[in-house]
Structure 1
Amino acid sequence: MPKRLILITMSGQDRPGVFAAVTDLIAQTDGARIRDIEMTVTHPQMVLTLLLDLSTGDSSEKPLIKDLLFAAKEMELHLDFSVVREGDYRRKSAHNRYVVTILGSHVDAAALAQVSKVLVKCHANIERISKLTQGELRCVELLIGSDGQLDIRLLKRQLLQLGGKNVDVAVQKESLYRRAKRLVVMDMDSTLIQVEVIDELARLAGVGEQVSEITERAMNGELDFKQSLAARVALLKGLRQEALMDIYQNIPFTNGARNMVRILRRLGFRTAVISGGFQFFTDRLKEDLGLDYAYANQLEIVDGVVTGRTSGVVVDGERKAQLLEEIAEREGITLDQVIAIGDGANDLPMLGKAGLGIAFNAKARVREQADTHINQQGLDSILYLLGLSEREMEEIGG
């Protein structure tokens, strides 16, 4: 005997007792089982959907539907029902799902239309829409599914092209690992903080323009990082150690950086800063923010004066990726559970290793190659990609 699956949809103004009344009627029907269920309430309209399986009992679905129709009328609700084939239900339950997060100062209808048109073109279907912000519509999360025709790389490319205009769009596979991230690794310069420290040091040393030009070319990937670092550090020769502390005490954090780290720590995340800058600054950031790890280049200082050299292993792009892997292994965390955030070309290897690599307000070349890029003022906007709502952030951040 083929399975009889009935899809019931009830909608109207929400009120207490709707769910109790519906489930009580189903419970009184011999052999009726609830296979799937979902309910949403939006200002103050309610939609309740249930998929019922009546294949195991002797009862007909007709009396139950009649009772549900009568109950809906009494509660001034609208009820629809339709028959669903078992094969269709199984195929829909088994297909791949992805989460599309849309961020902006205001996510308007034009942005939503652009995103949804791309989804249609790529054979993706929106299954659920959630608002993650309070008040203005600044972050929307879409759960999308596909029947197997979806080219996820093409979808990401097309959606990322929309980013940076009025909104940013990120795509992640909906899986346990998206909701079970455990380690966040950040770059320092122009990511965790708003400036490039070496440029600030160069300004005090009177070689600002020369160093800034080299930094810009290095971050865009036009110069080898090790060579560019050596060239810039050589220009800092003679700078006194007191200047480094003066720079640190006046470093402007990126908006939302402290809030993001505070929320991550309270959620039990491990946090790290891995920088192509200098250990003098990352060590102090680690202490200031309560980070778990800090790695950077060791600026050589002798008798309180910068020698113009670094010591130890240079933290370039490959070293950043290696350190990320080492931290994850030490913490017993898989790479799928790692988030990496950076803005420069030397961050790309690290971003590529992580389960979620985010180019934050990044250089052009980095935006083109990164899996996800975000151009938002607040670093804590990245928390939306974990599925956290603004209300939850406020509750946790306290």
Structure 2
Amino acid sequence: MNTAELETLTVWQRADAVCFDVDSTVIKEEGIDELASFCGVGEQVKEWTKKAMGGSIPFRTALSERLKMCKPTSKQVQRLVAERPSQLTPGIQELVQQLHRKGTSVYLVSGGFRQIISPVAAKLRIPPENLFVNNLLFNEAGEYVGFDENEPTSETGGKKKVMETLKKKFGYKYLVMVGDGATDMEACPPADAFIGFGGNRVRQTVREKAKLFVTDFSTLRHALGPEE
């Protein structure tokens, strides 16, 4: 293990707050790809997702274009959650439980949607106020009309803003971001460490540039040491 990896693990072991990306990190899927598939435009949207996660297109542009392709109704979103619930990545539930027992604050910070992520947070016992995610907007008839552009995660650099907000509000000394994509890597700094995750999908840029890259959550659990 090299110096950069050891330094990152030290911050991880001392973390008083951990922020997890959701799509392809906490869950196996990309939520917007699942939604698109449910709405019958899966292949078109997947191409935009690849571009967005690679960091070559402003995130808000990619988000807007993909949602225009989907135009999901509120009923479709509800059916998706009921019929195709998100699949947790193996080991994430145990890792979050271990962090909670250590007294570490856990957040979900994602470009995904509250309507899909809230049930995931509930499974992990992460309170709603610890979610920094996007929100789909519908009219009275339940038709898609857009997304809340006030959410920081709706734009490029939004996760960095969330890290700044958390550190300023709570004074965290060791804040760690864990995720699979370019938008997660951008969050460090102000996050004190970034851990790249490749257990579901490997993003080449992240694997090459992350100081620490893991492919399963057991690595991070073991690094925390035996529980008291």
**With structure 2 as the length reference, what TM-score do the two structures score?**
0.86
Q: Provide structure 1 residue ranges, at least 5 long, that are not aligned to the other structure.
A: 1-99, 101-118, 120-151, 157-169
The partner residue of 1:285 within 120, 145, 148 is 120
State how many pairs are aligned: 219
The partner residue of 1:248 within 78, 81, 95 is 81
Match of 1:366 in 2: 206
Is it true that 1:231 corresponds to 2:71 in the alignment? no
The partner residue of 1:323 within 159, 162, 166 is 162
Rounded Cα–Cα distance in structure 2 between residues aligned with 1:380 and 1:172? 19
Q: Provide structure 2 residue ranges, at least 5 long, that are not aligned to the other structure.
A: none
| Residue type of the alignment partner of 2:67 | V
Rounded Cα–Cα distance in structure 2 between residues aligned with 1:206 and 1:351? 36
How far apart are 1:353 and its partner, in Å? 2.7
Match of 1:356 in 2: 193
CA RMSD of aligned residues (A): 2.2
Q: Residue 357 of structure 1: SS of its match in structure 2?
A: strand
Q: Residue 25 of structure 2: SS of its match in structure 1?
A: helix
Is it true that 1:345 corresponds to 2:178 in the alignment? no
Rounded Cα–Cα distance in structure 2 between residues aligned with 1:259 and 1:174? 18
Q: Residue 192 of structure 1: SS of its match in structure 2?
A: coil
How far apart are 1:291 and its partner, in Å? 1.5
| Residue type of the alignment partner of 1:299 | L
| Residue type of the alignment partner of 2:74 | Q
Match of 2:49 in 1: 215
Rounded Cα–Cα distance in structure 2 between residues aligned with 1:191 and 1:371? 17
Q: Decide whether the 8 Å contact of 1:236 with 1:306 is kept in 2.
A: no
Moved over 6 A (4+): none
Give % identity. 26
Rounded Cα–Cα distance in structure 1 between residues aligned with 2:194 and 2:109? 14
Change (3 A) 1:354 1:322: same
Q: Deviations over 1:377-396 (max 9, x none)?
A: xx24322333x1xxx25xx6
Is it true that 1:273 corresponds to 2:108 in the alignment? yes
Change (3 A) 1:356 1:383: farther
Q: Decide whether the 8 Å contact of 2:39 with 2:76 is kept in 1.
A: no
Change (3 A) 1:235 1:178: closer
How far apart are 1:325 and its partner, in Å? 2.2
Match of 2:95 in 1: 260
- Larger relative contact order (C-alpha < 8 A, sep ≥ 6)? 2
Q: Decide whether the 8 Å contact of 2:110 with 2:134 is kept in 1.
A: yes
Match of 2:139 in 1: 302
Matches within 5 A, 1:77-226: 100=1, 152=3, 156=4, 170-172=5-7, 179-226=13-60
Rounded Cα–Cα distance in structure 2 between residues aligned with 1:191 and 1:304? 34
**Structure number with larger C-alpha Rg:** 1
Q: Decide whether the 8 Å contact of 1:241 with 1:301 is kept in 2.
A: yes
How far apart are 1:304 and its partner, in Å? 5.4
| Residue type of the alignment partner of 1:322 | K
Rounded Cα–Cα distance in structure 1 between residues aligned with 2:7 and 2:46? 35
